[in-house]
Amino acid sequence: MFKTESDLVPSFVIAACFSILGLLILAIWGTWHQTDYRAADALHRFSANNGLSPPSSPRICYLTVTDKTYEAFNESQLNRTRLAQANDILSELGVQAIIYDLIFARPSSPEADQRFKASIAKNGHVFLPTGFALRKRSVTQDRSGPFISEETGAPEVTRETGQLPELLKAARGTGHVSAPSDRDGVYRRFYMLIKRGDGYVPALALAGFLDYAGLDESALEIQWGSFIRVKKGASSVLNDDVIIPIDQAGRALIPFTGYWSRDFEKMSMQRLMEYYADESKRGNLINFFESRFVLVGDVSTGIADAGATPLENDVPLVAIHAALLNAFLTGNFLDYWRTGRVVLFLVAAFSILAFAVCFQRNRVFHFSALAIFLFLIGFWVLAFYRYSLLPVFTSGVIYTIVYGGIAGSIQIRNYKQNLRVRHENALLRRELDIATRIQQQMLPQSLPERNDVEVAAINLQALSVGGDFYDVIETEDGQMWLFTGDVSGKGIPAALYMSGIMSSLRTILQTTEDRSPRNLLLMLNDVMARRIQDHEVSAFATAVLVLLDPQHLKMVVARCGHELPILWNPETRELREIKPSGFMLGVSNSSIIGKMLNEITVDLSRGEMIYFYSDGISEAANPEGEFYGVHRLKEAIKTYGAGPASEVRDALLSDIRAFTRTAPQHDDITLLVARVHGP
């Protein structure tokens, strides 16, 4: 399941090194980039198109100045007397607050200014915006942003481009509307506080919300780079503290609730006055405006106060203040993952990759990597709908670098290992070829060609080398030793054991005058039994030893657990098996085996065939798993056993191959055929 220690340690070290490299890249490159915000924009648009954006508070609406407003009033610019009338009407309708996104930087006619000022004071809940020029940074982490003072992190005011002082004095409060866009011109973040002198100017929406909650700036707890907490305090409106996630510059992400056309209800100023002039429609106005925050903005064609949001282009920036105010009322501010959380997430992902590397199968590592990547995408989407933004692009790029580095390094290492294994296998194949040639040389290189007997044999190893063997040895008096056997097991161990048996038997035959197959097998067992220690047997062998006398048409047979020799008379069509008793060689001492081992003498007829075979023939299997069996061998002998020994051998082998078809050879096959012609 897991890799061996020699593979495990290097793989784990590779994973650890690339994980550390990924974290170093994160530390140098940073967490949030423009592509991360654009990815979030795409998800934001998907949510808006499918009704999954943050909910819009019913307590917010717009009062807009449109192209039709200018046409209805037959004016090319806003008349402050008209605005005063709108303030008076809204006061009568019982609105919660009027928040202007219009800066009145210059005076108009004295009568109109006085009328507008009086309407502001009369309402008592009018908020006017103030604009500022912000100092650029000298040393910066985000070159698109303004200067951040060292002591607070808030942007610093250099020049005020705000309201007429007399209008501000009449208003309930003021807030800034300075909203620098990101590098790509999209408004995604807004400063909650701006530093002016020794104090702060809150964002316009924050100022309106604090007044609504009955709180002031003292209720703000500020942790730069983390959050601004609006503490509930003695407020009778708030049930809980309001948390505003901010970056180091005090910017909060703007949680737009939808496209401009349908984020909050809208009514144009000329329609307000038309409905108010018609007493039958004033009830509709009360239903529309009562207890609501009314944001007043100029949305006519060609206004300078417009820009791009994550959802669309050319949106009046009053939508920013509406979205922020909505977040204050609903508590649905967008948070974003800071570096610490991203690091923990990536460390967890890298740890899973490091664990997956430990498995033997590389597919576990690749499947785990794919699962983590899909989890990253899914978690990014889920986090967004829980009002939290994950830098999916940055995280994904670093994760891909680490994954690619680990996968590539392991692949290169595996490639080098494969090259080494191939080289070692080539050496092993050469050694096996040598072993095969040596084993083949142990078998008879040629068989006797005589008039009184003909012999044919074949040895097919299941592997390059094996444990089956046969031998044919002529004696000086014209007799012939036929020796076949099978060593337990296959491959090199069996081949080594087999070569020892054949060498030992040949030595015994050269050094003794005994002509008893039984006694010779016992001598062979004595040689093999010397390797038996503590009654543990590493290998054993079966064998048949025959002393054939073709001149007198006799043979003496001794068998040690091997397959029974078969005699076949083509003339009488008589088939019989020779069944001398015996036990396997190399299992026990000869004194024990000798009690079970005997030899028998068999009379032969002219033309009679003798067959010796190994269990590789009887246990040869076809693709269905069915064995060839001794009964099929006997039938084949009856069918093909009338010809010369070599032809009979080939016919039997062909019959076996026809039976096994495409099935692989599982065991060594040995077949020895002798036809006795006699004197």
Flag whether pLDDT at 410 surpasses 90: no
Flag whether pLDDT at 148 surpasses 80: no
What's the burial of 50, exposed, middle or buried (CB within 10 Å: 0-12/13-18/19+)?
exposed
| Chain centre distance of CA 420 | 28
CATH, range 446-676: 3.60.40.10
pLDDT of residue 132: 87
Higher-confidence residue: 640 or 304?
640
| Alpha-carbon span 494 to 316, nearest angstrom | 90
Residue 302 has a CB neighbour count (10 Å cut-off) of 6
Res. 536 pLDDT band, cuts 50 70 90: low
Res. 146 pLDDT band, cuts 50 70 90: very low
Of 434-448, 462-476, 576-590, the poorest mean pLDDT is in 434-448
What is the bridge-based pairing of β-strands 388-389 and 453-460? unpaired
214 contacts 236 by C-beta, under 8 angstroms? yes
Q: What per-residue string of b and e applies to 156-177 under the rule 16 or more CB within 10 Å gives b?
A: bbeeeebbbeebeebbbbbbbb
| Alpha-carbon span 604 to 676, nearest angstrom | 8
| Alpha-carbon span 174 to 128, nearest angstrom | 5
Flag whether pLDDT at 673 surpasses 70: yes
Higher-confidence residue: 465 or 619?
619
β-sheet with 173-176: strand ranges across: 173-176, 126-130, 97-100, 293-298, 60-65, 265-268
| Alpha-carbon span 100 to 308, nearest angstrom | 20
42 contacts 310 by C-beta, under 8 angstroms? no
Bridge partner list, 225: none
Flag whether pLDDT at 527 surpasses 70: yes
- Percentage of the residues of the chain whose pLDDT score is greater than 70: 96
544 contacts 559 by C-beta, under 8 angstroms? yes
Flag whether pLDDT at 140 surpasses 50: no
pLDDT of residue 321: 96
Torsion sign across C-alpha atoms 652, 653, 656, 658: negative
Flag whether pLDDT at 443 surpasses 80: yes
What string of DSSP letters covers 508-545? Answer: HHHH-----HHHHHHHHHHHHHTT-BTTB-S--EEEEE
| Alpha-carbon span 641 to 645, nearest angstrom | 8
675 contacts 454 by C-beta, under 8 angstroms? yes
Flag whether pLDDT at 378 surpasses 90: yes
Q: Which two tokens stand for residue 256?
A: 């737009």
267 contacts 33 by C-beta, under 8 angstroms? no
409 contacts 18 by C-beta, under 8 angstroms? yes
Flag whether pLDDT at 13 surpasses 70: yes
pLDDT of residue 546: 97
Res. 442 pLDDT band, cuts 50 70 90: confident
Res. 336 pLDDT band, cuts 50 70 90: confident
Flag whether pLDDT at 535 surpasses 70: no
- State pLDDT tens for residues 509-520: 998 988 899 999
Flag whether pLDDT at 625 surpasses 50: yes
- State pLDDT tens for residues 90-120: 999 999 999 999 999 889 899 999 999 999 9
Q: Which two tokens stand for residue 205?
A: 């929406």
pLDDT of residue 209: 96
Flag whether pLDDT at 534 surpasses 50: no
pLDDT of residue 582: 92
- Percentage of the residues of the chain whose pLDDT score is greater than 90: 60
Mean pLDDT of 524-533: 76
- State pLDDT tens for residues 345-364: 999 999 999 999 888 888 89
Higher-confidence residue: 565 or 155?
565
| Alpha-carbon span 528 to 540, nearest angstrom | 9
| Alpha-carbon span 661 to 622, nearest angstrom | 6
Bridge partner list, 130: 176
pLDDT of residue 532: 55
pLDDT of residue 430: 84
pLDDT of residue 531: 61
| Alpha-carbon span 288 to 295, nearest angstrom | 13
pLDDT of residue 533: 54
Between CA 234 and CA 296, with CA 328 as vertex, the angle to 5 degrees is 115
- State pLDDT tens for residues 49-98: 988 888 999 999 999 999 999 988 887 788 899 999 999 999 999 999 99
Query: CB-hemisphere CA count at 13 Å for 261?
Result: 5
- State pLDDT tens for residues 637-659: 999 988 899 999 999 999 999 99
Average pLDDT, the chain: 89
